[in-house]
Amino acid sequence: MKKALVLLYGITSYALFFGLFLYLIGFLGNLFVPVSVDVGPEAPLGTALLINTSLILLFGLQHSIMARPAFKRVWTKIIPECIERSTYVMASNIALAAVVFFWRPIPAVLWDFTGTSMEVVGWAAFAFGWLFLLVSTFLVNHFDLFGLLQVFRFAKDGKPKELTFTTRAFYKFVRHPIYLGWFIASWCTPVMTVGHLLYAAGMSIYMLVAIPLEERDLTAIHGDTYRDYKNSVPSLVPRLGKVGGTPRKTSVA
């Protein structure tokens, strides 16, 4: 019974994540969703800035605090280790849902390439960013990253397994292709409003703060292996003509 509940919890957490991921694409692109970065209940400028900034801060704090090893050590004394990642994903779902459903548009337009050749470029870059991000998650074991692998392992035999080091594809050029895809998807748009700019800038600041925290943890876990990888492969901007080859550990189940 316990294994069935753990498995159901992990699958539910993942399904909610994937639904919100798709909604976020529509949210940022103003596509197919009733409430988006530029469409929804408006508020006075000061109120909108306060609400939106608070939502981004909530999202960033949740992601940063719950991802730290010190928090995980305490947290897994309260909840079973097998659902730690799924619980992180569920909390991320709640934080992301708050962003997309409570966001207040600030519709003043900064640029608008509608009807020009740059509109096509903007949409192409937007789509590329999301695809790049999604593919990058599979390069570091997508199902481990979002908690499914852990609950399936527990349901099967209860024994977590160590994952291997890898620098497949994008990870040979940048250390954080998931963040790079997120940057591209956040900033590349045919129509940039003040509200969209606030989202892009706020999430970019979160990512730039998160990267050194994440790399500190990776260095503590993997030692010289990660230090060598860090020294040979750039963080976000690829070096033309140079490919890193030091292996990287994807994660620990």
* pLDDT tens digit sequence for 62-102: 999 999 999 999 999 999 888 999 999 999 999 999 999 99
Q: Residue 140: inside a domain, yes or no? A: yes
**pLDDT, position 163:** 57
203-234: pLDDT as tens digits: 999 999 999 999 999 888 888 888 898 999 99
Q: Residue 244: inside a domain, yes or no? A: no
Neighbours of 135 (CB within 10 A): 15
Q: Residue 248: inside a domain, yes or no? A: no
Q: Residue 180: inside a domain, yes or no? A: yes
In contact, 187 and 176? CB cutoff 8 Å = no
Residue 113 structural domain: 2-232
In contact, 236 and 178? CB cutoff 8 Å = no
Average pLDDT, the chain: 89
Please tell me which of 36-40, 232-236, 243-247 the model is most confident about, judged by mean pLDDT. 36-40
Structure tokens at 122: 């903007």
In contact, 10 and 83? CB cutoff 8 Å = yes
Q: Residue 252: inside a domain, yes or no? A: no
Q: Residue 249: inside a domain, yes or no? A: no
Q: Residue 175: inside a domain, yes or no? A: yes
Q: Is the pTM of this model over 0.95?
A: no
Average pLDDT over residues 15-38: 96
Kindly tell me the burial class for residue 246, based on how many C-beta atoms sit within 10 Å of its own C-beta (0-12, 13-18, 19 or more): middle
DSSP codes, 211-223: HHHHHHHHHHHHT
**What domain count does the chain have?**
1
Q: What residues contact 71, with CB distance under 8 A and at least 6 apart?
A: 65
The Cβ-side half-sphere exposure at 182, using a 13 Å CA radius, reads 19
175 secondary structure, DSSP code: S
Q: Residue 19: inside a domain, yes or no? A: yes
pLDDT band at 164 (very low <50, low <70, confident <90, very high): low
**pLDDT, position 247:** 42
